Structure 1
Amino acid sequence: MAERIDLNADLGESFGRWQLGDDAGLLPFLTSANIACGFHAGDPATLVRTCSIAVEHSVRIGAQVAYRDLAGFGRRFVDASYEELFADVLYQIGALDGIARSQGGRVAYVKPHGALYNTAVHHETHARAVVDAAIAAGGLPVMGLPGSRLLTFAAAAGLTCYAEAFVDRGYAADGTLVPRSAKGAVITHTLEVCDRATSIAVDHRVRSITGEMVPIEADSLCLHGDTAGAVDLAHAVRDALQAAGVRVAAP
């Protein structure tokens, strides 16, 4: 039986005159779109436009929630209380869902962004705040790193969980993502990205930056929309997966 996997990317991250990524170019190759909610990136007009294009291409919309950190693009840790983070995440989900529904779609899952994504791997308070916000927003599925506190708490709460792997980011030997400041953290070579995608989808493993093959089970593959040449990479990854007998489809 052929493997099946979701292909997602981070979108809607432009803000005013600051343009980031090619959402319209990427969306035809995706099955899920993690759309910014205004806290780390994304102005309202950008979010309306991105949701509209996602609906046009029948791409599933996810709320990419983040710390309140526009200046740092959500890549800096914020020592928020449970109450503050719960409210911030719930606010972001509600805002994006309203925009998505205005365009004929809806928010179908929640995925943290940047520092919040990495922090929720091990930080119990922040992981619980995200999960509880997803519950309060109607019991939305949660996407995150396999083995993270985030997915552990989401599963315990009865939420659908999507384990995610990254085709353009470096992994440490323990299965966590290498910090962006480290050598090998971001991968842009087309052949390498495609090899990683098929390795994860078919062989359920990925090579770490130190050479070890790390076991990994993923429901979804992520390709960052702000990675250089992201549109060409998405096209190549989708072709490589299909050539390997993998059906690219949303969960």
Structure 2
Amino acid sequence: MLEIFLNCDLGEWETREQTAALMTHLDMANIACGGHAGDLQSIKDCAELAEAKKPIAVSTGAHPGIDSDDHGRSLPYDFSTESFRLLLEIQIQRFISAADLNHIKLHGALYHLVEADEDYRKAYLDFVRSHCLISIVCLAGGKVAIEAEKRNLPILPEIFLDRHYASDGSLLPRTHRNAMIHSASEVLERLELLTEKHCIMAYDGTMIELPAHYECLTACVHSDSPSSLEILKAAKVYLDKVEE
């Protein structure tokens, strides 16, 4: 049986009340650590809410991002691998001064950068190996996952519950008019296909098969999705029933 952990990107632009509400349905919290969003206090606040969840605390991890006018979804033209390493070092150090570091998941443009560019992917994996040997949350079936496994680095393959996929397994860009999923019923259809057939349906109907050796996945809902709370509630109920 495929085990699925729910995760959410938090400490970004949501209120503390929304953070607390989302946290009640999560297994993992990816907490912004001062790049695209967040600061030392917001990390502490999220970590406190994660610890307070009973009977099992939510696992906390760093969500490094880059400061940009579009909330970390684009990169400056002069962004180098050295700039990337420095960004990671600063944000990870900030994070561990305020919360327990159990995993790492890049935000926005950085998440896509390491999938697309071999040099940045190598810099990222080198950093994790040398600075914080923790689970890497990365695109299921993607290049980071494949390379990390070759290096015997721990990964948590990730799928997205509130985003549509292209036929090649990448996410539809946010500029696409149908990039986001707002319907809880559509999310449940995705989870059912995932748990029963180990695959995801792309927006055009293409079936994307996930690597057969995956025994667990993490499924993401973004805190800034309009239906984030509704989607997480429905997903949690479904997964709890599957596990019974």
> Could you say whether these structures have the same fold, taking a TM-score greater than 0.5 normalized by the shorter chain as the test?
yes
Instruction: Write the letter of the residue equivalent to 2:31.
Output: I
2:164–2:202 contact (8 Å) kept in structure 1: yes
1:170–1:209 contact (8 Å) kept in structure 2: yes
Instruction: Write the letter of the residue equivalent to 1:234.
Output: L
Equivalent residue, structure 2, for 1:231:
229
Q: Tell me by how many angstroms 1:11 deviates.
A: 0.4
CA separation in 2, counterparts of 1:185 and 1:24? 26
In the superposition, relative to structure 1, how do residues 202 and 242 fare at CA in structure 2: closer, same or farther (>3 Å)?
farther
CA separation in 2, counterparts of 1:201 and 1:13? 30
1:10-39: CA deviation from partner (whole Å, max 9, x where unpaired): 00103xxx8498110011110011110110
Matched, 1:155 2:153: no
Equivalent residue, structure 2, for 1:121:
115
Matched, 1:34 2:30: yes
Equivalent residue, structure 2, for 1:8:
7
- After TM superposition, the structure 1 stretch with the greater mean CA deviation from structure 2, 197-206 or 218-227, is 197-206
Taking the TM superposition and a 5 Å limit, the aligned residue runs for 1:63-78 are: 63-67=62-66, 69-78=67-76
Q: Tell me by how many angstroms 1:159 deviates.
A: 1.2
CA separation in 1, counterparts of 2:82 and 2:121? 12
Instruction: Write the letter of the residue equivalent to 2:23.
Output: L
Instruction: Write the letter of the residue equivalent to 2:38.
Output: G
Instruction: Write the letter of the residue equivalent to 2:228.
Output: A
Q: Tell me by how many angstroms 1:137 deviates.
A: 2.1
Matched, 1:203 2:197: yes
Q: TM-score, normalising length from structure 2? A: 0.90
1:167-204: CA deviation from partner (whole Å, max 9, x where unpaired): 11010111111100112210011111121123223321
CA separation in 2, counterparts of 1:195 and 1:20? 30
Q: Tell me by how many angstroms 1:156 deviates.
A: 2.9
Unaligned runs of 5+ in 1: 101-105
In the superposition, relative to structure 1, how do residues 113 and 201 fare at CA in structure 2: closer, same or farther (>3 Å)?
farther
Aligned length: 236
Equivalent residue, structure 1, for 2:186:
192
Q: Tell me by how many angstroms 1:146 deviates.
A: 2.4
Unaligned runs of 5+ in 2: none
CA separation in 2, counterparts of 1:175 and 1:20? 34
Equivalent residue, structure 1, for 2:61:
62
SS at match of 2:7: strand
CA separation in 1, counterparts of 2:111 and 2:243? 27
In the superposition, relative to structure 1, how do residues 49 and 193 fare at CA in structure 2: closer, same or farther (>3 Å)?
same
In the superposition, relative to structure 1, how do residues 86 and 33 fare at CA in structure 2: closer, same or farther (>3 Å)?
same
Structure 1 moving runs of 4+ over 4 Å: 18-21
SS at match of 2:105: strand
CA separation in 2, counterparts of 1:109 and 1:201? 23
CA separation in 2, counterparts of 1:226 and 1:174? 25
SS at match of 1:179: coil
2:68–2:75 contact (8 Å) kept in structure 1: no
Of all paired residues, the percent bearing the same amino acid is 30
Instruction: Write the letter of the residue equivalent to 1:94.
Output: Q
Q: TM-score, normalising length from structure 1? A: 0.87
SS at match of 1:192: helix
Give 1:172's match in structure 2, choosing from 166, 172, 177: 166
CA separation in 1, counterparts of 2:210 and 2:176? 21
Instruction: Write the letter of the residue equivalent to 1:197.
Output: L
2:11–2:42 contact (8 Å) kept in structure 1: yes
